[in-house]
A and B are shown apart, each in its own frame.
Chain A
């Protein structure tokens, strides 16, 4: 059983479109994240939710909107996609106020043409 699963794994779309990436974890964790990994492999935190409440919101364009319907799910919706949004987006989860050990999904590679 996959602990943190993301869909889709690959997404190719045109500039200006709107797309969503879904994430689900079956670890019973209460905190979930979205990280963006650029073409140089740099990982940057975007958002974090704890029990459906937003606790971290880094400097991210408001075209990105996370949604957490319950503590096991964290989705990422992106409006008006731009070329610079091309990246691998990783979902991760942990227990809040844990020591920082994150469990990552396998990533969703977004390509904007």
Chain B
């Protein structure tokens, strides 16, 4: 069975600083990888996804992530964060062929301070 580890439960940064949120996964088969964002009192929405092809994936709101198969990682990055990026970020994985079962990490709370 697949699993996801988000290495940091909380990441505080200052506005306009770069940020990296770390995610590692484990699976015995090939996977699809995702980052979702949850703003306060809202549901989750997709930031970006890796299915195949280029290992560098660009998403909404200036975020990007890089799939590294050898390190089983899918870290999320943004070169310059805004106050409005404050939210909970979830990494998720699904096995190829079982796209209906998405397994989430425990989330990373990103707090952007002025």
Contact = CB atoms under 8 A, between A and B. Distances in A.
Contacts of A50: 100
Nearest to A31: B100
A106 B102 contact: no
B63 interface: no
A101 B46 contact: yes
Given A31-B100, A90-B43, A43 B32 contact: no
A96 to B, nearest CB: 6
The DSSP consensus for interface residues of chain B is strand
Interface residues of A, number: 26
Interface string A87-113: 000101010111111101111000000
B106 A100 contact: no
A41 B107 contact: yes
Tier of interface size on chain B: 20 to 34
Interface string B85-114: 000101010100101111110110100000
Contact of B43 (A55, A101, A105): A105
Contacts of A48: 100-101
Contact of A97 (B90, B99, B102, B104): B99
A55 B98 CA distance: 11
Contact of B99 (A40, A42, A99, A107): A99
Given A102-B44, A107-B41, 20 more contacts: A40-B106, A41-B109, A42-B107, A43-B44, A44-B104, A45-B103, A90-B44, A94-B100, A98-B100, A99-B51, A99-B99, A100-B32, A100-B34, A100-B99, A100-B102, A101-B46, A102-B36, A102-B46, A104-B45, A107-B42
Nearest to A107: B43
